Amino acid sequence: MRNPSILSATLATFLWSLAATAQPPDPLRAFEARVPVTDQSAPVRDEALREALRQVITTVSGPEAEYVAADLLAQAAQLVQHYGYQQDAEYGLMLVAGFDGNAVERRLKALQLPIWGVHAAAVEDVLLRISELRGRDAYLHVLARLRGLPGVQDVLPTRAIGDTLELRVRIEGGAGRLGGALMSAYELAPDMAVDGVQLAYRYQGVDQKTSTP
């Protein structure tokens, strides 16, 4: 007889998946997913990451894409950018994962799969300022985060003043899409904008709820 906790987790995942796919895709959250889990152990986490990536694939490329991209699910741990855990009133403990949008898109396109509900506007350059970047690790972390956002084609640092960095981000959809995508960047908090800068944030360190493999 199968473990009742595994059965309940499987049922919760199935019900959550139905609820998630019943909603229209949100381009700003297309590369994020939430999966019910029984605990925070490594085997449960790895399985949940694969399920989260499966949800992402069906969201951005359609329900049939998961069969064509089945081998891609094994790369979930390499493609995840951040993950953490939350308590849901209905489903209990949830793993929340965000994947590298550009990398997922490239792999889906290599399989000749469509990308829909994501690209909806022309490419624009957005001037972005990020303050309180103290140290090389913070600088590299932010660059990696920006380059992994869906729709981003290029990130070019243009000026550094003390702990503040100004960048030019080339992204499909412009400032609106970049601002929406940065809502999932828990290590960045909105800041007061200045003249000549479209978006401004301050670095507050990697959130304690956010982990990386």
* pLDDT surpassing 90 at residue 50: yes
Domains of the chain listed by start with CATH number? 4-110 (no CATH), 123-203 (3.30.70)
Average pLDDT over residues 73-83: 94
What is the per-residue pLDDT across 29-44, written as a single tens digit (0 to 9) for each? 678 999 999 999 999 9
**Percent of all residues in the chain with a pLDDT value above 70, rounded to a whole number:** 79
Q: What is the mean pLDDT of the chain?
A: 80
**pLDDT at position 157, please?**
92
Burial of 39 (0-12, 13-18, 19+ CB in 10 A): exposed
Distance of CA 24 to the CA centre of its chain: 17
What's this model's pTM, rounded to 2 decimal places?
0.50
- What is the 3-class SS of the chain, one letter each residue? CCCHHHHHHHHHHHHHHHHHHCCCCCHHHCCEEEEECCCCCHHHHHHHHHHHHHHHHHHHHCCCHHHHCHHHHHHHHHHEEEEEEEEECCCEEEEEEEECHHHHHHHHHHCCCCCCCCCCCCEEEEEEEEECCCCHHHHHHHHHHHHCCCCEEEEEEEEEECCEEEEEEEEECHHHHHHHHHHHCCCEEECCCCCCCCEEEEECCCCCCCECC
**pLDDT at position 117, please?**
55
Average pLDDT over residues 189-209: 78
